[in-house]
Amino acid sequence: MNEMARLFQNHDYLTPKIAEQSGVSKYEFYKYVHENGLEPVSRGIYSARDELYVLHQRCPHAVFSHDEAFYYHGLTDREPIVHTFTIYSGYNTHRLTADGISKSYTVKKELLDVGKIIVKDNNGNLIPMYDLERSICDLIRSRSSIEVQDFSSALKRYVSRKDKNLNRLMEYARLFRVENVLRRYMEVLL
């Protein structure tokens, strides 16, 4: 059982396979899980820590976006209730979104990595997320499903930032075919 405690300290999540690789039997693994009241965060994955990191482990191709990125970049003050991520079209996200704690968006496979950066989440784990400019393009693309005051507040916060990169923003806007819409909003705000 000391080995199990050490494993939980050294890993952000554990599976029976990881435990077996460290010499812990499945019986000992599940006994430890039961005795310590650990709950599965997903099928076969146990964690005492971070939902975002676990979601990233379940779907390594996904990139956190929309509400998650808006909050991380300071474009909104509201912490997201539902984790949002983007994945390439055709990927079956049913198991990831069935529990209601996450929502998925899709893009063409060749656009998935545009603006992707690696950031530290609140628990210090490295996760993929879209940069500030890609997040603004996502905001524009999803404008019909976002409340008007949240939409305008996020755009105003972006425009007032010193670290904004308008050239990169327009480059992304061309790729996602929202250049004309973005120009109209930027002309008013700048």
34: pLDDT strictly greater than 80: no
pLDDT given for residue 158 in this prediction:
94
Instruction: HSE, CB side, 13 Å, CA atoms: give it for residue 64.
Output: 28
Percentage of the chain lying above the pLDDT 70 cut: 93
Least confident residue range of 1-10, 75-84, 121-130, 157-166 = 1-10
Q: Which two tokens stand for residue 169?
A: 């923003």
Q: Which two tokens stand for residue 128?
A: 């993929």
pLDDT given for residue 39 in this prediction:
66
pLDDT given for residue 162 in this prediction:
93
CA dist 53 and 127 (Å) reads 7
Distance, first Cα to last Cα, the chain = 61
Average the pLDDT over 40-60 and give the result.
Answer: 76
